[in-house]
Amino acid sequence: MSVRHFLTLLDLSPDELVAVLDRAVELKQLQRDNKVHESLKNKVLGMIFEKSSTRTRVSFEAGMSQLGGSAIFLSPRDTQLGRGEPIEDSARVLSRMLDVVMIRTFEHSIIQKFADYSKVPVINALTDDFHPCQLLADMQTYREHRGSIQGRTVTWIGDGNNMCNSYINAARQFDFELNIAAPKGYAPNEELVKQNKQRVNLIADPTLAVKGSDLVVTDVWASMGQEDESNQRMSDFDGFQITPELMDNAQSDSLFMHCLPAHRGEEVSASMMEDPRAVVWDEAENRLHAQKALLEALLLN
């Protein structure tokens, strides 16, 4: 059987994604009950990070330990990857030693090339275009709080970035409606929007966009690698901050999510982070459980 990768949410079928979430809930309960569950005993995960991380690194590393395996942190600063060894050579070598590889990098084409040459599953831990692992956690979190997201309405407010593109894929795979309010010039991937036009609505005004919404989501205005654009973006995104007052326009039982790290006073107000509708800490924790389920799905078929 050919090796399965997880580069975007489209790499698993809708049924497989639901199975991953079912398993994530079971694994969360096992951990809550302090039950030892070593389904990935002796398996080794390689973690290549070309950008910073707190949640992704710790959730993958802790997850592998909890499942009886281990993880190796690889930074370009101290591997030959950082000195120009070709991706395809690195992929061929590392995949002869590891059971699974996780990569956080810049261009999406880098991870695609690595996957093309890898004999073992490759997981996208964030590229400039997509962040599918975060969506597993977000979907698990919605389900735990409100049940199935199918047929619901989600609103994305802010940059049409890697998270926003991933929400478009999620709308397709989990079957929900997605409103997107992004400032002019910051719309998500045009092709992706076109492919999903029957469920994705671009609405310029954030207040109109959150109307009737069951879940409201945002992310930083300047992603990793866009630090130089920070000042320009602060002024371009004026009026796109999520506050409790903006949330009041959504459904009364609407939830708020943010993949974190959050910049209070920019894309989200400090009060919104403490609002009872915010489920950001559950969302962050679920990175651990959802990725353990993903690792099992990719390694144990």
Site of interaction with ligand NVA (CB under 6 A): 126, 161-163, 219-220, 223-224, 259
Task: Clarify whether 96 is annotated catalytic.
Answer: no
Looking at beta carbons, which residue is closest to ligand CP? 56
Q: Which is nearer to ligand NVA, 52 or 150 (CB)?
A: 52
> If residue 181 lies in a helix (H) or strand (E), which one and from where to where?
strand 177-181
Burial zone of 301 (CB within 10 Å; 0-12 exposed, 13-18 middle, 19+ buried): exposed
Task: Clarify whether 92 is annotated catalytic.
Answer: no
Residue among 134, 140, 173, 291 flagged as catalytic: 134
Instruction: Please choose, out of 1-9, 53-61, 73-81, 244-252, the segment that lies near ligand CP by the rule CB under 6 A.
Output: 53-61
Residue 43: count of CB within 10 angstroms of its CB: 21
Q: Which of 300, 299, 158, 171 is nearest to 233 (CA)?
A: 158
Q: Which is nearer to ligand NVA, 73 or 106 (CB)?
A: 106
Task: Clarify whether 77 is annotated catalytic.
Answer: no
Task: Clarify whether 57 is annotated catalytic.
Answer: no
Instruction: Please choose, out of 35-43, 50-58, 74-82, 113-121, the segment that lies near ligand CP by the rule CB under 6 A.
Output: 50-58
- CA 209, distance to chain mean position in Å, is 22
Residue among 259, 277, 289, 291 flagged as catalytic: 259
Got the DSSP string for 15-81? HHHHHHHHHHHHHHHHHHTT----TTTT-EEEEEESS--SHHHHHHHHHHHHTT-EEEEE-GGGSGG
Task: Clarify whether 104 is annotated catalytic.
Answer: yes
Residue among 11, 128, 138, 219 flagged as catalytic: 219
Touching ligand CP, residues 91-130 (CB under 6 A):
126
Q: Are the beta carbons of 133 and 290 closer than 8 angstroms?
A: yes
Between CA 119 and CA 49 the distance in angstroms is 20
Binding residue (CB under 6 A) for ligand CP from 13, 16, 38, 54? 54
Side-chain-side CA neighbours of residue 17 (13 Å): 28
Binding residue (CB under 6 A) for ligand CP from 180, 259, 268, 290? 259
Q: Which is nearer to ligand NVA, 197 or 264 (CB)?
A: 264
Minimum distance, C-beta of residue 253 to ligand CP, in the bound complex (Å): 24
Torsion of CA 171, 176, 182, 188, to 10 degrees: 20
Residue among 104, 172, 258, 289 flagged as catalytic: 104
Task: Clarify whether 131 is annotated catalytic.
Answer: yes
Q: Are the beta carbons of 129 and 9 closer than 8 angstroms?
A: no
Query: Could you list the active site residues?
Result: 104, 131, 134, 219, 259, 287
| Binding region for ligand CP (CB under 6 A) | 53-56, 126, 134, 259-260
